[in-house]
Structure 1
Amino acid sequence: MRTPPERPLRVLLVCHYYPPHVGGIENVVRHEALHLARRGAEVTVLTSGSRSGTDDGSDAPGVRVVRVAAWNGAEERASVPFPVLSPRLLFAALRWARWADVVHVHDCLYMTSWAAGLAGAATRTPHVLTQHIALVEHPSALVRGVQRAVYAVAGRGLLRRAGRVLVLNSAVAAFAVEQGARPETVCHFANGVDTELFHPAGSGADRDRARERFALPKDRVLVLFVGRLVPKKGYDLLLAAAESAAGTAAGPGFDVVFVGDGHEGRAEEDRPGVHHLGALPPDALAEVYRACDVFALPSTAEGFPLTVQEAMASGLPVVTTDDPGYAPYELDRDHVTLLPRDVEAVRGALTALAGDLRARGRAGDYSRRYAVAGFAWEEHANALLRLYGDVLGGVPQTTPAGPGDRERTPAEAR
């Protein structure tokens, strides 16, 4: 191994955004950094920022965060999360790749990843790559074309050289191999979730207090959506389902709560029964989960996104798209609603849950049990350390891996 026995393992985590920027990948990286540091690793995070600088680790003890100044116009103007970083990025990547024993890159679509891949190759520092998603079916042909070009050029080299390529589901695994990853390096590896922060409301009074904080009605069933307000996430589909339900004789029986960026300028969607809370930090988001009754995410091509894990940890029934990526997790379809990406199917499922308190209770209890057993961050970090050791020691691993158990499915691990 590269790591001298007299010092801790040095890990460089690379991500296009990092908290306080709000988003799923950045939350995953923050938790990985914090839990790796708690296990004795020295951790540096390379990411973008409004200006260049280094955080002191006060937010995540033991974690150094190196930020390189970036322009975020693509996200602000077109909801495309793609920061354009200053030329200092490559120098920072070279410095910290030389310092590290292993580089862990999150997704290969971003400038931070390209720079870290080049720096790792130049310094002969092995790298691990977590590929979170496949191609995003964005409505813009330009965005789709740029994605394909990036994967064909920068992505192919990153995937090919990676000591391990970690994926959340079989669809992303197939995509990674198609784009150049060596099949023997591709491992199934679920994200973790903070089951202490994300937990069910302790009582009806706790739920009511959470609703008061966010000015949500106490006398309605609340269906929660968390994510960017874009078609890929199913935002428009869920709005249409609520509108369709409102047109029935019995009415919708539920309100919809949206948490995420992208509502600005959509005043026509501020109507009765629809509540927009904007993007929220993790503590506030956890409280919104506790304020609501059902979680809905009719997204496409995501597999098992972090927001579904958070909802399950919060004890909410889940209604989401029947994506092939859920197959390895062996979810009980009597308690998790997996359905076609269709307005009427979503409307029917939400209306049924809104009218059946006992069904919501059974599904919510199942969600919580599943999350606690399968998504703990502590075991996620332990599995990462074992995986880094394999990469540094040159030990081949061909069995698909998941946190804490490399040969069992999440259902078996429970």
Structure 2
Amino acid sequence: MKRVLLVSHYYPPHIGGIENVVRNEAGHLRRAGVEVTVLTSGARTVTEDDDGVRVVRIAAWNLLEKRAGVPFPLLSPRVWPTAVRWARWADVVHVHDCLYVTSWAAGLAAALTRTPHVLTQHVAVVEHPSRVVRAVQRGVYRLAGRGLLRRARRVLVVNGRVAEFVTDQGARPSTVRLLANGVDTDTFRPPASDQERRAARLRFGLAQDRVLVLFVGRLVPKKGYDLLLAAADPAYDLVFAGDGSVSTSDRPGVHHLGALPPEQLAELYRAADVFALPSAAEGFPLTVQEAMASGLPVVTTDDPGYAPYGLDRTRVRLLPREVPALRSALSELTGDEELRAAMGRYSRTCATEGFAWPEHTVRLRAHYMGADGSVTREAAA
């Protein structure tokens, strides 16, 4: 396996979880000697990044994201012949999520060129507040998604909830494998000293003498930012990083820094004391992994998707998605520095032993080999 076509609806500099996963997979595969082309949306270009990854962008319109917060680019018809060209070039086509036009084009191209395809499904149906959006998602999964899942040689999932979802949608159980997203444990790391933590707070204009509870993600109800606002307490400051808007003028102790690139985001994690993400139906999102790699105690929703990872529930707070539970957990952590430190050490150990990118890349390549008909010990793991 020498050539891989990675397919994603968005890719950096567009900011988002899937985009970051694909960028890191591309870079680590390339450094391992694999030729990589990324097919994505954007202004029509073909470029090569610093890692030697070829990025093929298809012209797209992003009206749905701009007007309704739905990340669904509408691509030029050129996506179809372009996908066929690069699927023919590749040994394996790796599609990220089956909800997008790029995915449908790549899946069809893989079938036409008889190129094995692997699919990573990141989420199940997103419980969007709009009934129309929820209905459209279910319709897409039943139609285009079902075919993509059924034909995939490997279906990679990040948690147990998504594993159940893809099987219900038509994936063959024998093809479904658990593969955690990778995280850069060098970029996302604890502060080396109190001085580094203070410098990070100074950079973002945050108080030096307050406990900081950090939320990272889009400011939409699914992510639970509104629950954190409702649970807020004067004992700590809330810091939000992500696209969207939240009023801070009449809320002392609430800060919104907007969406940040990975390097700045890593510094913000080092400025914080606690990470909180009361999101819905996400399982084990990338931001939780980044926070753990940064040595932060984690407060998040008790989701069935965490079950395969065997987390110590005394060291990670997995809670009902309710304001009283959030308020109680954050109050406990705010007042107990030793508990925060113990949970932070546990987080860092989990990340370095289970989520580092080099390990992820080894397992991913083994799955590619398995998709191509080879049997390897790593792919069976």
TM-score range, shorter chain: over 0.9
Secondary structure of the equivalent of 1:77? helix
Percent identity between the two aligned chains: 68
**Aligned counterpart, 2:313:** 333
**Aligned mates of 1:270, 1:31 — CA distance in 2:** 39
Deviations 1:294-315 (A, max 9, x none): 0000001111000000000000
**Aligned mates of 2:25, 2:248 — CA distance in 1:** 40
Secondary structure of the equivalent of 1:267? coil
**Aligned counterpart, 1:55:** 47
**Aligned counterpart, 2:29:** 36
Matches within 5 A, 1:278-357: 278-357=258-337
Please state if 1:145 is matched with 2:138: no
Unaligned runs of 5+ residues in structure 2 are none
Please state if 1:98 is matched with 2:91: no
**Aligned counterpart, 1:6:** none
**Aligned counterpart, 2:8:** 15
Q: Residues 270, 161 of structure 1: CA spacing in aligned structure 2 closer, same or farther, 3 A cutoff?
A: farther
**Residue 162 (structure 1) aligned to one of 149, 152, 164:** 152
Q: Which AA in structure 2 matches 1:32?
A: E
**Aligned mates of 2:230, 2:379 — CA distance in 1:** 41
Matches within 5 A, 1:82-231: 82-231=72-221
8 Å Cα contact 2:248/2:255 also seen in 1:
no
**Residue 365 (structure 2) aligned to one of 367, 380, 385:** 385
Tell me how far 1:270 sits from its aligned partner.
Answer: 5.5
Q: TM (normalized to structure 2)?
A: 0.98
**Aligned counterpart, 1:411:** none
**Residue 261 (structure 1) aligned to one of 239, 243, 251:** 243
**Aligned mates of 1:269, 1:340 — CA distance in 2:** 30
Tell me how far 1:405 sits from its aligned partner.
Answer: 8.3
**Aligned mates of 2:351, 2:116 — CA distance in 1:** 32
Unaligned runs of 5+ residues in structure 1 are 4-8, 246-251, 408-414
**Aligned mates of 1:41, 1:269 — CA distance in 2:** 50
Q: Which AA in structure 2 matches 1:158?
A: L
Tell me how far 1:267 sits from its aligned partner.
Answer: 3.4
Deviations 1:256-296 (A, max 9, x none): 00000011xx4366521110000000000000000000000
**Aligned counterpart, 1:412:** none
Q: Which AA in structure 1 matches 2:242?
A: G
Higher mean alpha-carbon deviation, 181-190 vs 269-278, is at 269-278
Q: Which AA in structure 2 matches 1:72?
A: N
Please state if 1:362 is matched with 2:354: no
Tell me how far 1:160 sits from its aligned partner.
Answer: 0.4
Q: TM (normalized to structure 1)?
A: 0.90
Secondary structure of the equivalent of 2:372? helix
Q: Residues 346, 269 of structure 1: CA spacing in aligned structure 2 closer, same or farther, 3 A cutoff?
A: farther
Q: Which AA in structure 2 matches 1:308?
A: V
Q: Which AA in structure 2 matches 1:311?
A: A
**Aligned mates of 1:380, 1:220 — CA distance in 2:** 36
8 Å Cα contact 2:122/2:162 also seen in 1:
yes
8 Å Cα contact 2:37/2:53 also seen in 1:
yes
Q: Which AA in structure 1 matches 2:309?
A: Y
**Aligned mates of 1:339, 1:312 — CA distance in 2:** 17
Deviations 1:295-344 (A, max 9, x none): 00000111100000000000000000010111111111111111100001
**Aligned mates of 1:343, 1:405 — CA distance in 2:** 41
Aligned residues: 381
**Aligned mates of 2:109, 2:199 — CA distance in 1:** 50
8 Å Cα contact 2:213/2:236 also seen in 1:
yes
